Amino acid sequence: MNRIKLIAFDLDGTLLKDNKELAPETMEVLRQAAEAGICLVPTTGRLYDGVPEELRTQPFIRYVIAANGAEVYDAKEKKSLYRAELTPEEVRRFFDAVRDVPAIVGCYKGGQGLMGREDMEKMEAFAARGLFRMMRRVYTQVENLEAYLLETGETVQKLMLFFADLEERVRVLKSMREELSDLAVSSSVENNIEVNAAAAHKGAALRFLYRHLQIERTETAAFGDGSNDVSMLMEAGVGIAMENACQEAKKAADRITLSNEQNGVAHMIKEFLNEAAV
């Protein structure tokens, strides 16, 4: 296997434990990888500011793939290198498709989270385990999200649905993949659905970044657990799914590592470092 020069890793369900914390052991292994010259890239459905501060502020974290690949952000230069966003017409089609869906709706636009007033008031009942505090921090309230987005007429990074009924979420995910087949419809946590522009997926953003850095595809690795990680697992030279990953991610991966609760990312990076030392 070629020496790994870039490692992309999802956060929720992958790098982070179920309580959304980063294990000290994992942080130490990330530091060792950075010292070995490996470019480490958080690759998440979150916004850049939603990356845990203890990770985001590390000197070895320069690039972040955010909003499921809608943005590649250079923290050193403080600028976006790549953007792929939903058009106003695609935003309108989304709201038409989810008009009667029993879920709350969130949006990422211009690096900010937005949610309508009524949905904000119901947020706690619809938040997945461990996410309520983060959602309260990320989202800013607007009176009516649909009206606000259509009135501004600007592009949007990502639209999300959050469900209290997980069976309903499965049904809606299937129907949305059919109705919005020209868009990227995926999921990152057990109770959500995420909609991005067709060009906004983690695989495309990873491809852009390794080419930008003049790194070969075979010199990249990626870790993930959700359906929004599938394109990245397939794009990377080595795709690694977590033991706790969904079946779709496991099928797309070249390897399976331990679960996020068992620090599976750190476990596999140690293997990469040992192989490079031989």
Q: Write the pLDDT tens digit of every residue in 184-197.
A: 999 888 899 999 99
pLDDT confidence tier of residue 127, bands split at 50, 70 and 90: confident
Torsion (CA) 53, 54, 57, 60 in degrees, nearest 10: -140
- Stated pTM of the model: 0.85
State the CATH class of domain 88-196. alpha beta
The answer to whether 6-84+200-277 and 88-196 have equal CATH topology is no
Domain ranges within the chain, ordered by starting residue: 6-84+200-277, 88-196
- Per-residue confidence (pLDDT) for residue 276, from 0 to 100: 80
Task: Please determine, for residue 275, whether its predicted confidence score (pLDDT) is greater than 90.
Answer: no
The C-alpha atoms of residue 215 and residue 188 are separated, in whole angstroms, by 27
Residue 219 in this model has a pLDDT that exceeds 70: yes
- Residue pair 172/191 in contact (Cβ under 8 Å)? The answer is no
**Cα 89 from chain centroid?**
24
Reported as a single tens digit per residue, the pLDDT across 99-119 is 999 999 999 999 899 999 999
Rounded to whole angstroms, how far apart are CA atoms 38 and 35?
Answer: 7
In the three-class reduction of DSSP (H, G, I as helix; E, B as strand; rest coil), residue 278 is classed as coil
Q: For 258, list phi and psi in degrees, rounded to 5.
A: -65, 170
Residue 131: what pLDDT? 78
Q: Please state which CATH class domain 6-84+200-277 belongs to.
A: alpha beta
Cα separation, 111 vs 133, in Å, equals 18
φ, ψ for residue 12 (rounded to 5)? Answer: -65, 125
Segment 204-224 shows an average pLDDT of 98
